[in-house]
Amino acid sequence: MRMQKEMKLLLSDPPHGASFPHLSSAASGSADFSSLSTIDAQIEGPEDTVYANGIFEVKIQIPERYPFQPPIVSFATPIYHPNIDNSGRICLDILNLPPKGAWQPSLNISTVLTSIRLLLTEPNPDDGLMCDVGVQIQ
């Protein structure tokens, strides 16, 4: 039931700079999103950053225990960023469970995408996956 609500909200009021081309076409019918396990999203590169005018493909995997477990999110588009490795994995606290992470069931896909876009604007080189990239931006 929660996934149904989240998907409808993502389509009717997507987070700034994010879109869901595959969901949009599925929603034209009366799609059942409750069994959805993967979401393909596109994130626009934030203005006034090196990523401006870029469109980045992001894959979101929804675990069976969502929202009690965070989604697994990765970049499908290669990106040069200290907090994103060559496999597309993202170092972001809300993508991990406590005690090392900050995921809470009250968070949602929209919050995750907004946080990822913010990470593109404000990298965290002190907690990087790609140390050589982090050194270059400091």
Burial class (CB in 10 A: 0-12, 13-18, 19+), 41: buried
Is 91 labeled as catalytic in the residue annotation?
yes
Which of 91, 95, 112, 120 is catalytic? The answer is 91
Angstrom distance (rounded) from CA 75 to CA 61: 12
What does the block give as tokens for 11? 């389509």
Residues with a known catalytic role: 91
